[in-house]
Amino acid sequence: MYKEKLHQAGKILNEQGIDVWLTLVRETAMNSDPILPFISMVDFTALTGIMVMSSGKTIVLAGNNDAEGIRQTEVYDEVITYNGNFKDGLSELLDQYEVRRLAANYSIEDVASDGLSHGLFILLQEIVNSTSSKPEIVSAAPIISKLRGLKTTAEKNLIIEAISTAEHIFQDARHFIKEGITEQEIHQFFTDRMKYYGVQPSWQASQCPGVMLGPKSVPGHNAPTKITACKGDSMDIDFGVLQDGYCSDLQRTYYILDDNEDRASDEVQRAFDTLKEAIRRAAQFMKPGVTGEQADAAARDYVISQGYPSWNYALGHQVGRMAHDGGMILAPKWNRYSSRQVEQPMEAGMVFTLEPGIATSRGYVGIEEMVYVTETGTEFLSSPQQEIYLL
């Protein structure tokens, strides 16, 4: 998979007219770069430069303690060992390959592309100024956004596996959740099931799953409370697992039947049906070339047309090695989101969540599905929730 992603990176460099993409790191066990898990199997101790050329060639300039371990991975075309001066070694390489445009990992907008520390950026400037070619340093954000976003077949399959495991746990919970149980007990159940399946939470363990039980629970990324399930309560559970390096991120709606009820209350059912249709419309609308803002509007406009207020977060985000994987998002042009993130056109190979929500008097109602962008539209990677889980 590492070779696949590095080969993919070379193609992206060609598209964007970049000679070299340089990832500059040191002591990565302490201060890593978000892109490193895509391009390296090992950590580095000494100052290290991972270079991807527009030709597709990959070179690592590494310290003598790291170099042999890097060679053993057989990921890169060439591993060059420096014994003393990294600056001279990198300067010589930039001149040797007559580099004119060099992409480095910094970004004002995208945290996934902002792995280069300020100190290393200053060092890079010094090295560039010492070369005869004096290449222009540009942000690698467009490269990293594509590299993280465009999933290979292997990556897609790993995401599907993570989705499948999360869906099993959601189903397991239908036999556990009942009147009188607390958010904390539900959270512990999901934690125990993750241990059973041998997986980890997709995000901070204290908030995964996010359990939003009844009208008093606060929606969002919160730790579970002692709020107790009552008859007639609606419940939204936000949950995903990290499995074999890739994540899932889903939400499911549950409902605790009141006395003499055999279905959810009309208020909850109508909210659920509205969200289900909003997700269907967004997924049907999405295809290569559609922007994040346009995809968001396809769902948001429908929910508003049904008399509900607009939810106060993005319709969706990319998922991959992390639940929130950076790059393009499906959102309106709000101040909290950069123009580049919402105006970027989607491409085949991207994986997004679709997660609108509606507050009701019985509790928050939320659905979150995951879709894969194809050449002509989308396909659902998750099994869309068609009915409320009645308890």
Residues 176 and 129 in one domain: no
Q: How far apart are CA 149 and CA 157, in angstroms?
A: 14
Do 229 and 332 belong to one domain? yes
Q: Which helix (H) or strand (E) holds 172?
A: helix 153-173
Q: Which domain range does residue 73 map to?
A: 2-148
Q: What is the pLDDT of residues 343-373, one digit of tens each?
A: 999 999 999 999 999 999 999 999 999 999 9
Q: Which residue in the block uniquely carries the two structure tokens 């997709």?
A: 202
Run of H or E including 28: none
Q: Domain with 64 in it: what CATH number?
A: 3.40.350.10
Q: Which of 168-182, 243-257, 332-346 is predicted with the least confidence, judged by mean pLDDT?
A: 332-346
> Do residues 114 and 155 share a domain?
no
Q: Residues 217, 191: one domain?
A: yes
- For 316-325, 336-345, 351-360, which range has the lowest pLDDT when averaged over its residues? 336-345
Q: Is the pLDDT of residue 341 over 90?
A: no
CATH number for the domain harbouring residue 341: 3.90.230.10
Separation of alpha carbons 370 and 376, rounded Å: 17
Q: 108, 126, 148 — which closes off a domain?
A: 148
If you count them, how many residues does the chain have?
391
Q: Which residues contact 172 (CB under 8 A, 6 or more apart)?
A: 189, 193
> Does residue 68 share a domain with residue 124?
yes
Residues 143 and 194 in one domain: no
Which among 37, 74, 77 has a CA at the least distance from the CA of 55? Answer: 77
With DSSP H G I counted as helix, E B as strand and the rest as coil, what are the percentages for the chain, rounded to 5? 35, 20, 40
Structural domains counted in the chain: 2
Last residue of a domain, one of 148, 182, 211: 148
Does 192 share its domain with 331? yes
The per-residue pLDDT of the chain, averaged, comes to 95
Whether residue 261 sits in one domain with residue 125: no
Biggest distance spanned by C-alpha atoms of the chain: 82
Q: Are residues 167 and 247 in the same domain?
A: yes
* φ, ψ dihedrals at 80, nearest 5°: -105, 130
| Whole-angstrom distance, CA of residue 193 vs CA of residue 328 | 32
Report whether pLDDT(335) > 90: no
Residues 298, 343: Cα–Cα separation, whole Å: 15
Predicted TM-score of the model (pTM)? 0.91
